[in-house]
Amino acid sequence: MITYADFEQVDIRVGRITRAEPFPEARKPAYKLWVDFGAEIGEKRSSAQITVHYKLEELVGRQVLAVVNFPPRQIGKVLSEVLVLGLPDADGQVVLIGPGQDVPLGGKLF
């Protein structure tokens, strides 16, 4: 079990997807994403295995939640700077997590 202090160390913020591209080099079908977290954090890159539920053109403009304080991780040819969050559907395919209405970019989950 973790403590509340442990939870506070995970920095989960809201961002808006500004760009999405195919990621054909990925081992599993995925997209490359650019997410804007506002002035404090800026735009960060990620990759996400979300090709089943989302088309590239649907992603731009969508707000998502992401962990912004993990160290960058090389995923194939993409340096992933944030971890975009999602939940598995009944078939194990990722569904993105985001706010139910527009909120200011960079807002922290608490």
Contacts of 51 (CB under 8 A, 6+ apart): 29, 30, 31
Burial of 20 (0-12, 13-18, 19+ CB in 10 A): buried
Mean pLDDT computed over 18-40: 96
Mean pLDDT computed over 23-33: 94
Q: For the chain, what is the HEC assignment? A: CCCHHHHHCCCEEEEEEEEEEECCCCCCCCEEEEEECCCCCCEEEEEECCCCCCCHHHHCCCEEEEECCCCCEEECCEEECCEECEEECCCCCEEECCCCCCCCCCCECC
**Average pLDDT over the chain, rounded to an integer:** 96
Confidence category of residue 108, pLDDT binned at 50, 70, 90: very high
Taking only the tens place, the pLDDT of each residue in 55-103 is: 999 999 999 999 999 999 999 889 999 999 999 999 999 999 999 999 9
* Structure confidence at residue 76 (pLDDT): 87
Rounded Cα gap, residues 74 and 81, in angstroms: 9
Percent of the chain scoring above 70 in pLDDT: 100
Percent of the chain scoring above 90 in pLDDT: 95
| Residue found under tokens 């993105």 | 96
What are the boundaries of each domain within the chain?
4-96
CATH code at 4-96: 2.40.50.140
